[in-house]
Amino acid sequence: DQQVKQNSPSLSVQEGRISILNCDYTNSMFDYFLWYKKYPAEGPTFLISISSIKDKNEDGRFTVFLNKSAKHLSLHIVPSQPGDSAVYFCAASWRDAGNMLTFGGGTRLMVKP
């Protein structure tokens, strides 16, 4: 059973608007969450992360929100740009897991000019 789920396989957004990608998890031990971005024919690259002691982390156009009670996190991209078109993976880990990550299934974001 998947412990990290991204229920939207794809999302289409107009350039300049906000993109919101969602992720749900079931394992209460997870205390660190990450988003990775993947372009075709490339490996995933780290985008942004958040610790469970926070509920928000911002880096430029990217903001991740964490709702621990709902076991839900979201990635906001504002404003969205065509270059943001990629597959986004949510991932989770916990303190004693070392560098072991559990990934969600991914959401393909398409930003239309």
Which positions lie near another protein, rule CB under 8 A? Answer: 2, 4, 6, 9, 32, 34, 41-46, 49, 89, 93, 98-101, 103-106
By beta-carbon proximity to another protein, the closer residue of 66 and 104 is: 104
Residues with Cβ within 8 Å of residue 91, at least 6 apart in sequence? 4, 33, 34, 35, 36, 101, 102, 103, 104
By beta-carbon proximity to another protein, the closer residue of 13 and 33 is: 33
By beta-carbon proximity to another protein, the closer residue of 7 and 67 is: 7
In the complex, least distance from residue 73 CB atom to another protein, rounded to whole angstroms: 15
8-state DSSP, 47:
E
Using omega within 30 degrees of 0 as the cis cutoff, is the peptide bond preceding 79 cis?
Answer: yes
